[in-house]
Structure 1
């Protein structure tokens, strides 16, 4: 019986390699104007990165939306696969940067990534991803505690993009045509739907997974400290 504990899987290895490579790339890439205002979207893919990219473009920013290495010296705003980027290095290098933790409720996030990859994931795969996501949220909340140059936004919340624009002083609250989440048209596999629900049951998150939650029961004894960090920053849940 699966008990909800995390195990090490191939994604852990892959993400470790990607993080190391991206740190090295940033170390040697041209930095441009280090006093420039940069916008870094540091949440997971399938969580409104396209909408945020279009918001930046609507406000006249040079926005780069791609899973490849971010050329920070050439653009103003960056999104996609933010959870594997050298965020602390960006923060040290660009003192005027703004950071956005984009997220969505856990269940639709798991559904979206499974549909995107078009393969069957095991119950344990989904359990591991939920833990990885919670660990990233914990790191981000701790790093940016009390900071005005950071916000977290549930991209499915009403008024999510206008809230981002308001917090960072962007003139246009939404791109032309409003928010458009890239939900994807790929079919959803029945096996994944069943495995997601089994994973959420094993984690005890069946109810929580429908909500825009940053601090989760997965954080265990860290919940109180992380809740204080969450309450010290702008959050749209």
Structure 2
């Protein structure tokens, strides 16, 4: 199986995480007993649809890659995987968390098309590992909790499942599901590199399914599957 290497994204994401953590530490928190909704998955995974769902249910929702002003809004989405999730959890005891995801192949193709540049096979290998590592952290952290839901945004009824879980009156955004399908051209080299990366990782079949636990988790798969079974998960 292909191995992970350290790349420029590891450095960039590390810097962003530190900056976001510091920003959260230094900004007003508002009512710490308020119910807050944090979408903590990756971008290009239904974040716009979830934002619209929050708005339809009367929440003051902030959908942006910029720093989240947690004292000013009720719900937050975009680039959730880089946010100080544990800090939000400690600060807001009534907070609720949503780990949004989709099949790995669709995710890699979406981010590659969005950025409109050719990524190497190793870039895609590294991103697959980063994603699996983050999902493993989330499963460990939220194991056994009822204030957390993991949802494959492409699963039938996924958005309605989120709405039902949180008791929302409006089950879907009035304008329907909003999937930001890019109008930008899909670069053939990226498609080829993604398939090469998936083959090198032995994930060709898995990458077509909404898997929260991956072969990339290695010996931890059994424990992570057990953790997954303790939370609400829509795959």
Normalising to structure 2: TM-score of the pair? 0.99
Q: What is the match of residue 138 of structure 2? A: 140
Q: What is the match of residue 109 of structure 1? A: 107
Structure 2: distance between partners of 1:185 and 1:35: 42
Q: What is the match of residue 225 of structure 2? A: 227
Instruction: Identify the range of structure 1 (223-232 vs 171-180) with the bigger mean alpha-carbon deviation.
Output: 171-180
SS of corresponding position for 2:19: helix
The 4+ residue runs of structure 1 with deviation greater than 4 A are none
Structure 1 gap segments, 5+ residues each: none
From 44, 48, 51, the equivalent of 1:50 is 48
Q: What is the match of residue 153 of structure 1? A: 151
Structure 1: distance between partners of 2:55 and 2:46: 14
From 16, 20, 23, the equivalent of 2:21 is 23
Q: What is the match of residue 94 of structure 1? A: 92
Deviations 1:115-155 (A, max 9, x none): 00000000000000000000000000000000000000000
Q: What is the match of residue 36 of structure 1? A: 34
SS of corresponding position for 2:149: strand
Deviation, 1:182, is 1.0
Structure 1: distance between partners of 2:196 and 2:43: 23
Q: What is the match of residue 63 of structure 1? A: 61
Deviation, 1:180, is 1.7
Structure 2: distance between partners of 1:208 and 1:185: 27
SS of corresponding position for 2:180: coil
Normalising to structure 1: TM-score of the pair? 0.98
Structure 2: distance between partners of 1:235 and 1:179: 20
Structure 2 gap segments, 5+ residues each: none
Structure 2: distance between partners of 1:77 and 1:172: 15
Cα RMSD, aligned residues only: 0.5
Deviation, 1:177, is 2.5
Q: What is the match of residue 73 of structure 1? A: 71
Q: What is the match of residue 187 of structure 2? A: 189
Deviations 1:79-137 (A, max 9, x none): 00000000000000000000000000000000000000000000000000000000000
Q: What is the match of residue 164 of structure 2? A: 166
Matches within 5 A, 1:181-220: 181-220=179-218
Structure 2: distance between partners of 1:190 and 1:133: 23
Structure 2: distance between partners of 1:20 and 1:10: 16
